Amino acid sequence: NQCMRSIHFVGIDNHKGSARRCIPLWKNHGVDDITDSILLNLNKLPVVRDHFMNPSKLQSQPGPHSDILCIFAIRFLNRKLLSYIANSHTIDEPPTTIATASLAKGSKIAMHSPPSPLVLPLGTIVAISHFCKPEEGADWNFDHPKESSVLDRWELKNLFGAVCANANDDSKQRWQIVKDDLAFDGDHGRTLIQFVARKVA
């Protein structure tokens, strides 16, 4: 399939054995030849930015993997990372808006400064499926996951639907929310959010 040959799937995890466990799944779905995996600590935002914007540094195979089409997370919650993605910039924003990493690596200032903004192409899709409370202020009556690891009902909508001001003090919305629905898991009746947003600015 000509279309599929231009698509590359990259699995990201910080556990060394994850890639080996995923190989049978990839082969079963016929995507093992266009699938790769990397070991990456998603809590380190500068490292995440380096991978997303310079993927050839971290991937085993060089090639045209720089155009990110979709960021997909299922039953994985990292609020700091989600906020970083939600506040990402686009490549056409002026240099004064996109901070450059001008500080020397290892300096005390650099270590305590927030990472430079993530830059994503327009049209990038973020898709998330995760445990979510059924309504605002609802209780979470399950042992797993813990309530602190469960999304509030409108948490993703408020995060990705926020209006931001740019360098010219113009308000704009960076993401268009395409889907924001609830579903139930098949075993315990826990509510899951099915959320999709598309980068528009």
Q: How confident is the model at residue 125 (pLDDT cuts 50, 70, 90)?
A: very high
Interstrand relation of 175-184 and 191-199 (parallel, antiparallel or unpaired): antiparallel
- How does pLDDT run across 54-104, given as a tens digit for each residue? 755 544 444 434 577 899 999 999 999 999 999 999 876 544 443 333 334
Residues found in the chain: 201
The overall longest dimension of the chain from CA atoms, in Å, is 51
Contacts of 188 (CB under 8 A, 6+ apart): 142
Which residue type, as a one-letter code, is found at position 9? F
> Which range is most confident: 10-14, 36-40, 121-125?
121-125
Question: Residue 143 in 3-state DSSP?
Answer: coil
Integer Cα distance of 135 and 27 in angstroms? 39
Six token digits for residue 169: 């003090």
Higher-confidence position of 131 and 186: 131
Distances, alpha carbon 114 to alpha carbons 46, 49, 83, 127, in Å: 9, 12, 13, 25
pTM of this prediction?
Answer: 0.79
